[in-house]
Amino acid sequence: MEPIKETPKTKVKRGPKRAVFDRKVLYQILDEVRISHVGFAVDDQNFVIPMLSWRQGNQLYIHGSRGSRMIKALTEGANCCVTATIVDGMVLSKSAFHHSTNYRSAVVFGQFRLVDDPTEVNDTLKAFLDGIAPGRWEEVRAPTEKELKATSILAIELEEASVKVRSGPANEDAEDFDLPVWTGEMKLKQSMIGMVADDNNQPAVKTPNYSRAWN
Amino acid sequence: MEPIKETPKTKVKRGPKRAVFDRKVLYQILDEVRISHVGFAVDDQNFVIPMLSWRQGNQLYIHGSRGSRMIKALTEGANCCVTATIVDGMVLSKSAFHHSTNYRSAVVFGQFRLVDDPTEVNDTLKAFLDGIAPGRWEEVRAPTEKELKATSILAIELEEASVKVRSGPANEDAEDFDLPVWTGEMKLKQSMIGMVADDNNQPAVKTPNYSRAWN
């Protein structure tokens, strides 16, 4: 797998030690995050919109209502910035100043393209749904022509990206070492915590187990 | 508490049923999210950067290195968009198309101001740290003058904001009701899952319990 190339835009100026060029790390972040924040401008106004996102190969996909302002701007080639962030923990230091956060983040620059090949649309919608609930694509009613027309799928190539990872303890000052203050990491994690059936279920239908998508 | 006013910029065009004007909901989202995504532009390039954020009253605070490109752009009055997103669950429908997400999001527009009053700096840093680890501000070494000079605190007024909440089951089509497919919500939650001590602890120092900040 090719390492991520550094460009003037992606060069990490703050905390350069945290920069990561391993494409596998970029892929892991995008696979785990589920929601990316897409930044773009319309008439000089910035917008940052949370979008479900999923990765296949070297592309990140999103979908939305065909007529929306955002989908219009993005399909017209707006330069955008897509950011995915996972917080792994709060880093507690002996001094207020050296508190920090352990995180993994990816900032992707580029332009989205409209996915208009029917095979790519079908394959990527299957990958999207199965990534959330493995096997579900085969269980549910497939999209109709009309439903597919109402939805736009967009993809961005993972070409220009800035990936940062922080892990480990706080960077204590030497003179703080002897302070009797607990230091360590407060671990955070997003988990799937349960399946809640709604009223539309037939009594005979059992709750499926999709937990393997959510280790 | 004043309801949130709708402006041309914040008017929810997609899914207007999901728009919420209750300021308490905005505050709850910002208090729970911990990380906001800040969008701004420098020389026509959009950036979306994840930032620890915390709310006091009607303001949202962030902090960063004084010399960073982002802090410079924001203190110079860049128009920006700050987005906070919490995913409560994946909504599983009987059809591929009607799958959805239960979420709470806030999109705030405006400009940050530099917080330069020493009392406000001190009070808000205390609120920030105590919001993550209640009582910790009094336990740790306080920031020095030099450390305070290296950090900029910025605040944005919660004036123009678009808040959206989706909850509940999928919007099934009537003709799908009889399909023997499980429907419901796959609940997601970010939790504090543990405290991991690092090697800088004295043996006598006990692990503190900050869990009340993370219900």
The predicted structure's pLDDT at residue B1? 85
The predicted structure's pLDDT at residue A168? 96
Nearest to B96 among A69, A125, A189 (CB): A125
The predicted structure's pLDDT at residue B6? 86
* Residue B126 φ then ψ, to 5°: -60, -45
Distance of CA A209 to the CA centre of its chain: 23
Residue B188 pLDDT grade (very low, low, confident, very high; cuts 50, 70, 90) = very high
Question: Is the pLDDT score of A154 beyond 80?
Answer: yes
Put simply, the answer to whether A192 touches B187 (Cβ < 8 Å) is yes
Burial class (CB in 10 A: 0-12, 13-18, 19+), A139: middle
Mean of all residue pLDDT scores within chain B: 95
Question: Is the pLDDT score of A14 beyond 80?
Answer: no
Decide if the complex's ipTM is over 0.90.
yes
Q: What is the mean pLDDT of residues A63-85?
A: 95
* Residue A187 φ then ψ, to 5°: -80, 135
Put simply, the answer to whether B46 touches A140 (Cβ < 8 Å) is no
How close does chain A come to B196, measured CA to CA in Å?
Answer: 5
Residue B50 pLDDT grade (very low, low, confident, very high; cuts 50, 70, 90) = very high
Question: Is the pLDDT score of A43 beyond 90?
Answer: no
The predicted structure's pLDDT at residue B17? 86
Q: What is the mean pLDDT of residues B88-110?
A: 98
Nearest to B46 among A80, A125, A129 (CB): A80
- Please state, in angstroms and rounded to a whole number, the distance separating the CA atoms of residues A58 and B93: 29
Pairing label, strands B80-92, B45-52:
unpaired
The predicted structure's pLDDT at residue B12? 79
The predicted structure's pLDDT at residue B43? 84
Residue A34 pLDDT grade (very low, low, confident, very high; cuts 50, 70, 90) = very high
Put simply, the answer to whether B190 touches A187 (Cβ < 8 Å) is no
**What homologous superfamily does CATH list for B16-88+101-169?**
Electron Transport, Fmn-binding Protein; Chain A (2.30.110.10)
Put simply, the answer to whether B200 touches A172 (Cβ < 8 Å) is yes
- Number of Cβ pairs closer than 8 Å across A and B? 265
A90: left (phi over 0), alpha (psi -120 to 50) or beta: beta
Domains of chain A, by residue range, sit at: 16-214
Report the candidate in A47, A117, A56, A43 with the shortest Cα–Cα distance to residue A82: A47
Strand partners, B80: B110
Instruction: Choose between B12 and A198: higher pLDDT.
Output: A198
Residue A12 pLDDT grade (very low, low, confident, very high; cuts 50, 70, 90) = confident
Nearest to A14 among B65, B168, B193 (CB): B65
Among the ranges given (A112-121, B5-14, B121-130), the one the predictor scored with the smallest mean pLDDT: B5-14
For residue B74, what are its two tokens? 């924001």
Residue of A nearest to B163 (CA): A49
Residue of B nearest to A35 (CA): B87
Percent over 70 (pLDDT), chain B: 100
| Cβ neighbours of B116 (radius 10 Å) | 10
Question: Is the pLDDT score of B215 beyond 80?
Answer: no
Q: What is the mean pLDDT of residues A129-139?
A: 97
Q: What is the mean pLDDT of residues A61-70?
A: 94
Question: Could you give the angle at the alpha carbon of A70 between the alpha carbons of B23 and B26, nearest 5°?
Answer: 10
Residue A186 pLDDT grade (very low, low, confident, very high; cuts 50, 70, 90) = very high
Report the candidate in B165, B182, B91 with the shortest Cα–Cα distance to residue A129: B91
The predicted structure's pLDDT at residue A58? 97
Pairing label, strands B80-92, B184-197:
antiparallel
pLDDT digits (tens, 9 = 90+) for A204-213: 999 999 999 9
- Please state, in angstroms and rounded to a whole number, the distance separating the CA atoms of residues B191 and A36: 19
Q: What is the mean pLDDT of residues B116-130?
A: 97
Q: What is the mean pLDDT of residues B143-158?
A: 97
- Please state, in angstroms and rounded to a whole number, the distance separating the CA atoms of residues A38 and A25: 20
Percent over 90 (pLDDT), chain B: 87
Residue whose token pair is 């999207």: A128
The predicted structure's pLDDT at residue A44? 82
Please state which CATH number belongs to domain A16-214.
2.30.110.10
Strand B59-65: give its sheet, edge to edge.
B54-56, B59-65, B151-157, B113-114
What is this structure's pTM? 0.96
Put simply, the answer to whether B194 touches A200 (Cβ < 8 Å) is no
Buried b (16+ CB within 10 A) or exposed e, B55-89: beeebbbbbbeeeeebbebbbeebebbbbbbbbbb
Residue B146: enclosing H or E segment and its boundaries? helix B145-150
Question: Is the pLDDT score of B135 beyond 80?
Answer: yes
Nearest to A200 among B177, B188, B192 (CB): B177
The predicted structure's pLDDT at residue A29? 98
The predicted structure's pLDDT at residue B13? 76
How close does chain A come to B20, measured CA to CA in Å?
Answer: 16
How close does chain B come to A2, measured CA to CA in Å?
Answer: 24
